[in-house]
Amino acid sequence: MDIERAKWALENLFQRVERDPIGGNWKLNGSITSGERDALIAILQHLGAEVGDLNSARGQQDPPIIAVPEFPLVLSSTALSAPEEPSVMLCLDFGTAMSKAFAIDGETEKPFDLAVGQRSGYTEAIYALPSSLFISGTGRVYLGHEAIAQSLLDETPGRQRFDSPKQELSQGTTADLSSVPVPKAINPTEIPFTKEELITLYLGYLTDMACTELQEGHERSRYVRRRFARPCWDTQRTAWAEQLLERMLSRAQILADTFSGHWQGGIDVRAIRAVFDKLGSVTPPTFLIAGGVEEPVAAAASIVLQGERQYPGFLVVDVGAGTTDFGLFVVIQPRSSSTPKIFRLQGSIHGIRQAGDTIDNFLRAIILKKHHVDLQSPYGVRIGAELNLHIRRYKEALFRDGTLAYRLADDTPGSVSLPEFLDSPEVARFSKGLREAVQKTFDGVHESWIRRMFEQPGVLVVLTGGGARLPMVHELTQGWIETHGIRVLCHAAPSVPTWITEGYPEFIDEFPQLAVAMGGAAPELPEMGPDTPQFGGLSSPTYVASNLQVKGV
């Protein structure tokens, strides 16, 4: 085992070390996996220690048969008839790469930060969970950061994590996922699971981290209403996916309560199968689900969540891992209120199924092309499968460090520089596609909106999502958009709204990733505006536009 793999495994092991309340000594929560044992051996050997014969008779003994742990269904949520604490709204941002959550008390406007990453033991992010699930060859299911760590220890050719499960909703066919079995590459055990079951299990994990944060971190109920953020799918996919998500999220609350406190160290696949078998006869708490909200609409709500007034008209570009979503919004001041009102403009809300994962795929293709890897050969299959497990971290390292050094599964070394990557034809096509999508956003809006709100002084471009800092995305804040015979100048919006910088500075670094979850929990979401600027009881939009504070305008 190489040192990088060993490091990942021991970081995961360290997260399960806790202080014994009796005596104060440190103890391990759960057992040590075979991969973690191998990691300990690799580190000790790296430090020069003599570990002994790894193939001793003791190591060759047949493992004992372990009884299936029993998890009685916890049905506290189903005993209710309505959500508790009706003023509190939770939003679950089930992301392609990372998932987040946020909650707001609509009566007091108090936000509740939900440190789901920290709650799970993830050391690389406080407010985000990796959207990953891994089933080991020994029959344990790991979620979040543990799924990534355990998958990197498994050297079985062809093994796959169940990564980016949201892509089954965004990119897959609109099939009945409850009848689609998980392939052997993902589930090497003889215990069958469907794709819907694994997605529901991950949502149970996310739900538990969010609800436990709300309960233990803020002393609020676990059983509050919750929205879920979703991409801008077409009408057919939206109808299919929203119904599916409502079913999975309501069942996820029962899984969250049943497995709460037992996620770390993985859960026996047999126990999970037994719980799902029992879950089929239970009526889930559907009353907890308040419906979906499109991601750019939620992101827009986060901008003006607490009275922000310097945005008369703005473009939201939400760049996730699976989709990039767009929307135009205007902020109008009601004559009878001190709080501005936000409207979404008809014809502007849409999305494309290209985003951060697209960049991952480009990098993967460039690396494979560099080394002339034949993906049809046995060695090529192994190289490609291992590269898939590492590619997201490789991308992050490339954009962070400006260069990427890697080693393939056959020990072939290589490197890619950031300029080399950005100059590739694939990235150029992606950048062009983003520009064309922005053009479509403006072209879909009535000319009178453009002339009234955006011709002078221009449009603020708000970038949110995990891909907001990508250079080709940042380019969208520059230059002009020509639409309906009108030139609209683009300005980069402040990276963080004033209500956060002044009132909640702890969210400053996290805002791009948290924007959707924040806005999705808002008491009021942006309403659909009229076709043309007819406002009735609202004051003239030019009044708000005159308050715009942007350098150079």
Domain extents for the chain? Answer: 3-60, 77-284, 307-355+434-545, 357-425
- Mean pLDDT, to the nearest integer, of 10-34? 66
Say yes or no: domain 307-355+434-545 is CATH 3.40.50.1100: no
Name the DSSP letter for residue 272.
Answer: H
Within 8 A by CB and 6+ apart from 4, the residues are none
Is pLDDT of 12 > 80? Answer: no
Name the DSSP letter for residue 334.
Answer: B
Residue 397, classed as helix, strand or coil, is helix
- Mean pLDDT, to the nearest integer, of 12-20? 69
- Give the helix ranges, DSSP H, for 78-216: 116-120, 145-153, 167-170, 195-212
CB 483 within 8 A of CB 450: yes
Is pLDDT of 544 > 70? Answer: no
* Cβ atoms within 10 Å, residue 376: 7
Q: What is the pLDDT of residue 359?
A: 93
Q: What is the pLDDT of residue 547?
A: 35
CATH of domain 77-284: 3.30.420
- Mean pLDDT, to the nearest integer, of 11-38? 67
Is pLDDT of 311 > 90? Answer: no
Which residue type sits at 173?
T
Is pLDDT of 373 > 70? Answer: yes
In angstroms, the CA 166 to CA 249 distance is: 13
Per 3-state DSSP, the chain is made up of helix, strand and coil in percentages (nearest 5) of 40, 20, 40
In angstroms, the CA 437 to CA 351 distance is: 8
Is pLDDT of 93 > 80? Answer: yes
Instruction: Encode pLDDT of 30-70 as tens digits.
Output: 667 766 777 787 777 667 666 655 544 444 455 556 678 88
Instruction: Encode pLDDT of 260-270 as tens digits.
Output: 999 999 999 99
Q: What is the pLDDT of residue 338?
A: 66
Domain 77-284 shares a fold with domain 307-355+434-545: yes
To 10 degrees, what angle do helices 269-279 and 235-259 make? Answer: 110
Is pLDDT of 92 > 60? Answer: yes
Q: Which residue has the tokens 């590269």?
A: 387
Instruction: Encode pLDDT of 116-171 as tens digits.
Output: 999 999 988 999 999 999 999 999 999 999 999 998 888 787 789 999 889 899 88
Angstrom CA distances, 12 to 143, 187, 486, stand at 12, 21, 55
- Mean pLDDT, to the nearest integer, of 89-97? 95
Angstrom CA distances, 215 to 39, 93, 219, 342, 390, stand at 36, 19, 5, 31, 35
- Mean pLDDT, to the nearest integer, of 352-366? 92
